[in-house]
Structure 1
Amino acid sequence: MRVRICDRYPPGSPVVPVAMPLPVCSPARLAPLAFATLVVLSFDAAALSRRDQAAVGALSQRMQAAEARYREATVAARNDDPGARQAADGALEDMEDVITACGKQRGCSMPNMLAAFKRLLKSNADASPVDEDVDTTLVDESIGGGVPNAAEAASLLTEDNERFKRMVQYNPAVQAGIRRWLTDMRVTLIQSHENYQHMQHLMSPAFKRSGLPEALLFGIMAKESNGKVHVGSRAGAVGPLQFMPATGKRFGLGPDGTGFDTRYDPQSAANAAAAYLNERFRELDSNIEMSLAAYNGGEGRARRVYRESGGRSFWDADVYNQFPAETKDYVPMVIAAAWLYLHPKEYGLTFPKVDTRQATLKLARTASIYELTICLGNGGTRDGYMRVLRNLNPRYEADQAIPAGTTLNVTTKMVGLYNRWCAQGERADLARTLVASDPGRAIVRTGAPVPAAKPAITETAPAPAPAQPEAAAPAVPTAAAKDSKKKSPAPREYRVQRGETLTSIASKFECRIGTLADANRVEGPRYMIRPGQRLKLDGCDGEG
C-alpha cells in the first residue's frame, strides 16, 4: 500500500502513535511487515526517553530482519537447499528473542508485537495451499521436519509458552528441580531432549489435538523414562510414559495379539497420556500439579485429597503432606523439565539439534538391533544409533534376530550408513560375529585328572590281596572313548543363566530361535525368559 509520512515522523523513526492518523507528506511504499513493526507502541512517543525509543526501534528492525530470513528459508527449502532448515530455525529463534526482549523493554507493547508477529506468519501460511489430508499440527516437512509452519510457530511462541506459565506455580520447589536438571541431571535432560526429537512427530500431535502444552509432555517423558521406550519399573510400569497394566488397559494400551505390548509404542502411549490427563483436568479443575500428582501417586488419592481440601492448591501444606515423598519430588521435577524445555537460553542450556528426517529401511539380511548398532557406527553422532533404532522400532528387542525383508523406521542418514556398512562387507560380518559370540565358549574343559599309578609290591611284603577287577581301576580315556563322548546327544534340557536370552541360547545349542520358542511356549517377538528357567532343547544339534 502507498502512504505519505509527515516530516514529524521521517523514515526510520522508531514509533508512530497508533491513536493518531498518519499525516501525508511524502510517498513511501511500506510492506505489511514494516507497517506492523512501526505500530509497536500504543502511547505517545514523548513519554519515552530517546534511549527507550531507540531500543524499541531496534527490536522492530530485528523482527523485520528475522521475518525476511524466515521467508527466504522457506523459499530455499522448496528448492531443496540443505541449509534451509538451519536458516529457518535461526530466524524463528531470533523472533522469540525479540519477543522476550520486548517484555523487558520499557515502552514495548507485547500484545502489539505478538499481534504483528502472528499476522505476518499467518500471511505466509495463507499463501501456501493446504492439503486437507495433511495434519497441519505437524511441522513443515518442506524444511526438513524441524521448522514449524507459520501458524504453528505463532502458537509455540504464545499459547503453549504463556499458557503453561499461567497454569503452574514457579516456586522454590520448581527452582530446586531446575537446579537438579542443570547440575547432576543435565546430561540426562539433554539425552531426553535428543530422544524426544526423534519421537516428536509421533507424540506431540496427541497433546496438541487435546489442547495440552507440549512442554508438559516433554516434562513427563523426561522424568518417567528419559525418552527410552523400553524402560520398565519394578512396579510394572513400562514404556516412554510408564503406564501400569490396568491404567494402560483403560486407555487402550496393552497386548495387541501379536505379542507386543502397545505401552511401549510412543504414539499410542502419548494418545493415552493425553486422554488420561484431560480426564484428570476435568476432575481437578485443570490443575496441572494435582493432575501430575494423580499421574504419579494415583488418581484415587488425588481425587480424594482435592475434594476434601475444597480444591486447594497442591502446594497447600494440608494437601502436599497427603502425598508420598515420590510424588512430592515428581511434580516439581516434571514442571522444572517443562520449564527448561520452554526457556533453555535463560539458563545457558543448549539442546543439540539432531537430524530427525524420517525414512524406512528394508533389511537386506537378517540382523538384530545390536548388530545394526555396531555396523552403522557413530555416523557423526556422540552415542550412535541404538537408542534411535529401539525408540522407532519398539516391537523388537535389541538382541532379537529381525528377518531379512523386514522394514524398519530409521532416519535418512541411517539409510545411507546401512547401505554402505551393513548390507554386506567386512564391517557387517564383524558385527555379526561380535553379536553371535558366546562368552561360555571361552571356557576350556580338559576333563578329570588321571590318578597316579599304585606303587609296586615288593617280595617281602605280605601276600597281596586278591586282584581287583579291571573295571574298578581308573582307566585312561581312549581316543575311541573321546570320539564317543563327542558324538553323545545334546542335552534335552537347559537351565537359563543370568544375562542369557533366548537368542543367545539358540546360538549356543545350534537351533532356530523359533523352534526353541515353540518347544517352550515362549511368545515372540520379545521372547522373555528368566534366570533359572528350564528350557527343552528339542530341535537343537549342538551340545553347548
Structure 2
Amino acid sequence: MLLRSAVRFLRPVLLAVVPGLIAACASTGGGKPSAPVNGLYAELDQASKGYESALQQSRAGAMEASQLTLTRSLDQLKEASARCGNTPGCDPQRFFSVFDRLLRLKDGDFDDGMDLNSDVDPSQAALAAGKTGAASLPAAQRSVTLLHGQKLSELIAMNGPVKAALEMWLTQWRPQLMDAYVNYQYLRHEMWPQYQKADLPEALLFGIMAKESGGKVHAVSRSGAAGPLQFMYGTGMRFGLGMDNGFDTRFDPAASARANAEYLNEQLAIFNNNLELTIGAYNGGEGRMRRLVGADTSVSFYDPRIYNQLSQETRDYVPAVLAAAWLFLHPDSYNLRFPRVDGVPGSITLQQPASLSELTVCLGSADGMGDGWFRTLRNLNPRLDPQVTQPTGAQLQVPKPLERAYAARCVGGPWPILAHDLHSAVVPVVEAPPPPAPVVRRDRSYKVRRGDTLVSIVRNLHCSSVQEIAEMNGLKHHHLAIGQVLKLPACQ
C-alpha cells in the first residue's frame, strides 16, 4: 500500500539522520542561512509539495502516477535530510516539522480500499452494523479519526509536553501502553461502538483508557475512581452508572464507555470543541476548568493563566492522553509495533463447574498469551468474582480463539483436575494470640522530706517523668513543701 510505502521511507529517513542533524545543530551559529542551507530548505519544501501532489493523484485514482510522485518526493526528502547533517547552519527542526506535517497529511490517505475523502475504514461500518467477524476488527490505527468533523491529528499540537509524554510512553510507560493495547483489543467490540455512536474518535478512547487504567476493568484509584475509565461515584451516577443488583456498573466496559462519551460530548459543547480543555476537565474537574477558562473557550490549555493554575497531575494528564492517542494512530512512525490481537468476541458454555481462576490455569498460554488469560477473562466477565465457582451450563464471554482452547484443555484431561486441586487448596487459619491484659495502674502516696526535689523523686521512681508527677498533683512551677503528700504511680 502507498501508506505503508510512505511509512517505510519516512521512518528510516528521520531515524538515520538524527545523529547528524543534532551534530549540525550543535555547531550552528545564529547568523543568516548560507546558500547551501537555503538550497536544502528549498529541496525540503519541494519534497513536501511533491508528497501533497501524490496525495491528490491518489484521490483522483491515478495510483501509478501517485506512487511515482511519492517515491521521488521521499527520495528527495531522504537525500536532503542526509546532507543537512553535514551542512553547517542547517536546522534539523525544519526536517522534523515536515515529518510531523506529513504524518498528519497521511491520516486516512494512501490506503487501498478506502474512501480517501473520509477517515472511516469500510470495516468500521461493518462493526457499526453489528458484524463481529475477523474482517470487522481492523488494525487499530485504521479507525475513525474525526472529532465532530475535525481530524484528531489536527487537534494534537506536537509541543514540548506532548513530545515528552511520547517519550515516556515509548520508554518508562511502554509496558503499560502495550498491556493497555492488548486489553483494549479484547474489549473493543464493547467500548468502541459507544464512542462511534457519539461521533468521537477511537484513538481518544484508547488514550484515556491507557492513562486511566491500562485497560484493567476492575481498577480502583486511591481517590475512589473506578472502572476502565475511572469514574468517581457521583459523576458516574450523573451519567447513568450505579449499582445494578449489587454490581457497580462503573466496572462495565460498555456502560463506562457510553458514560465517558456522553461526558466528553457535554464538555466539548461547553468548551467549544477545545479537546485539551475537555480532557483537562475530565481529570481536574469541569467546575475548576470552567472557572479558569471563563468565556474565552479558545484559550490554550498551555496558556499560563490556565496551565499554571492546574495541579501537576492534570498538567501531565492531558499531554499523556494525547500522546497515547497519537501513538495509537501512528505506531509505525515511532518505531512502535503493537502486537497482533484477534479480539473477535466469543463465548463458552461450561461443561463442568469452574471459576475464572481455574479456567486461567487450564487455558495456560493458549493462543500465544504468555501472560495468561486471567485479566482478559475478568475484563470480559466483570460481574463475576474470579474465585467463585460457576455452575455447569453457565455461559462466559471469551475471545473467539479460546472457544477451541477451552474444549481442548478445560473439558477433560489433566489440566482441569490440576486447576481444581490448586483452587480447592486449604490454607491453615492461624488464630491471632489474645491481646495482653491491660495493665492496671495503682497510685501510691509519698510525703515530701527535707532536701527532696521533683527531679530527685522522679529519679528514684524509675518509671515516670517530672511532667507526669506535676500534672498528677497540680504542681505549679514544680514547687514542693516539706510534709506535702504527693500522689505517685505504683511502678512495677
TM-score by length of 1: 0.57
CA–CA separation in structure 2 for the residues paired with 1:219 and 1:436: 40
The residue that corresponds to 2:315 in the other structure is: 328
**Equivalence map 1:9-88=2 (5 Å):** 35-37=61-63, 40=66, 55=72
Question: Relative to structure 1, is the Cα distance of residues 164 and 136 closer, same or farther in structure 2, using a 3 angstrom cutoff?
Answer: same
How has the CA–CA distance of structure 1 residues 120 and 141 changed in structure 2, closer, same or farther, with 3 Å as cutoff?
farther
What are the Cα deviations for residues 301-345 of structure 1, in whole angstroms up to 9, with x where unaligned? Answer: 111111166652110011112211211111111111111111111
Structure 2 counterpart of 1:285, from 261, 272, 275: 272
- Aligned counterpart in structure 2 of residue 401 of structure 1, from 384, 389, 414: 389
Report the equivalent of 1:146.
137
Q: Tell me, what secondary structure is at the counterpart of 1:242?
A: coil
Q: Does 1:167 align with 2:155?
A: yes
For 2:412 and 2:248, how far apart are their aligned partners in 1? 33
CA contact (8 A) 2:351 2:411 kept: yes
- Pair 1:262–1:302, CA change in 2 (3 A): same
TM-aligned CA deviation for residue 237 of structure 1: 1.0
1:6-405 maps to which residues of 2 (within 5 A)? 35-37=61-63, 40=66, 55=72, 118-119=114-115, 137=128, 141-147=132-138, 156=144, 163-256=151-244, 258-307=245-294, 311-379=298-366, 380-405=368-393
Offset at residue 110 of structure 1 (A): 7.4
Aligned-partner SS, 1:241: coil
Report the secondary structure of 1:319's partner residue: helix
SS in 2 for 1:372: helix
AA matched with 2:402: M
Shift of 1:55: 2.6
1:415-457 deviation line (CA, Å, top 9, x unaligned): 222222222332111111111213226x79xxxxxxxxxxxxx
Structure 1 outlier segments of 4+, above 3 Å: 32-36, 38-41, 51-54, 100-105, 109-122, 138-145, 155-162, 308-311
- How far 1:39 moved relative to its partner? 6.7
SS of residue matched to 1:291: helix
Equivalent AA in structure 2 for residue 336 of structure 1: A
> Which amino acid is the alignment partner of residue 72 of structure 2?
A
What residue in structure 2 maps to residue 458 of structure 1?
none
**Secondary structure, counterpart of 2:315 in structure 1:** helix
Cα deviations by residue, 1:267-324 (Å, 9 ceiling, x for unpaired) = 0000000000000011111111111111111111111111166652110011112211
Paired residues of 2:241 and 2:259 also in contact (CA < 8 A): yes
Structure 2: how far apart are the matches of 1:367 and 1:115? 46
* Equivalence map 1:406-445=2 (5 Å): 406-440=394-428
- Secondary structure at the aligned position of 1:184 is classed as coil
Task: Please list every run of 5 or more consecutive structure 1 residues that lacks an aligned counterpart in the other structure.
Answer: 1-13, 19-31, 42-50, 59-99, 445-544
Label 1:232 to 1:167 Cα distance change in 2 as closer, same or farther (>3 A).
Answer: same
Are the equivalent residues in 1 in contact too, given 2:133–2:344 (CA < 8 A)? Answer: no
Return 5+ residue gaps in structure 2 as ranges: 1-49, 76-97, 432-492
Distance in 2 between the 1:115 and 1:428 partners?
Answer: 47
CA distance in 2, matches of 1:433, 1:53: 62
Distance change >3 Å, CA 177–CA 286, structure 1 → 2: same
Amino acid at match of 1:299: E
The AA in structure 1 aligned to 2:277 is M
Residues in 1 aligned to 2:127 and 2:188: alpha-carbon distance in whole angstroms: 14
Per-residue CA deviation, residues 450-480 of structure 1 (Å, 9 max, x unaligned), is xxxxxxxxxxxxxxxxxxxxxxxxxxxxxxx
Deviations 1:6-64, CA, capped at 9 Å, x for gaps: xxxxxxxx9xx99xxxxxxxxxxxxx9995325759xxxxxxxxx95863799xxxxxx
**What SS is found at the alignment partner of 1:243?**
coil
Cα contact 1:40–1:113 (8 A) shared by 2: no
Give the Cα separation in 2 of the matches to 1:394 and 1:318: 42
Task: Supply the AA of the counterpart residue of 2:406.
Answer: Y
Give the whole-Å Cα distance in 1 for the aligned partners of 2:129 and 2:398.
Answer: 18
Structure 1 counterpart SS, 2:128? coil
SS of structure 2 residue aligned to 1:408: strand
1 CA distance for matches of 2:203 and 2:59?
A: 30
Q: CA 1:104–1:343 in 2, change beyond 3 Å: closer, same or farther? A: closer
3-state DSSP of counterpart to 2:370: coil
The answer to whether the Cα contact below 8 Å between 1:139 and 1:148 also exists between their aligned partners in 2 is no
Alpha-carbon distance in structure 2 between the residues aligned to 1:53 and 1:252: 50
The answer to whether the 8 Å contact 1:229/1:265 transfers is: yes
Structure 1 residue 402 displacement after superposition = 1.8
Query: Structure 1 pair 356/349, CA: closer, same or farther in 2 (3 Å)?
Result: same
Distance 1:53 1:203 in 2: 37
Distance change >3 Å, CA 329–CA 383, structure 1 → 2: same
- Name the CA shift for 1:135/1:186 in 2 (closer, same or farther; >3 Å): same
Task: Give the CA deviation at 1:137.
Answer: 2.8
Structure number with the bigger relative contact order (C-alpha 8 A, sep ≥ 6) is 2
- Aligned CA distance change for structure 1 residues 112 and 40 (closer, same or farther; 3 Å): farther
TM-score (norm 2): 0.63
Match for residue 439 of structure 2?
none
* Structure 1 pair 210–373 and aligned structure 2 pair: CA distance change class (3 A): same
Q: What letter corresponds to residue 185 of structure 2 in structure 1?
A: Q
Are the equivalent residues in 1 in contact too, given 2:292–2:305 (CA < 8 A)? no
RMSD: 4.0
What is the aligned residue count? 354
Query: CA deviation digits over 1:382-418, x for unaligned, max 9?
Result: 2111111011110012212222211100122212222
CA contact (8 A) 1:224 1:241 kept: yes
Q: Is the 8 A contact 1:138 1:148 kept in 2?
A: no
Shift in alpha-carbon separation, 1:425–1:237, aligned structure 2, 3 A:
same
For residues 415 and 297 of structure 2, what CA distance do their matches in structure 1 show? 65
Distance in 2, matches of 1:217 and 1:308, equals: 27
1:353-383 CA-partner distances (Å, limit 9, x unpaired): 1122221111122221111101111112121
User: Sequence identity, in percent?
Assistant: 39
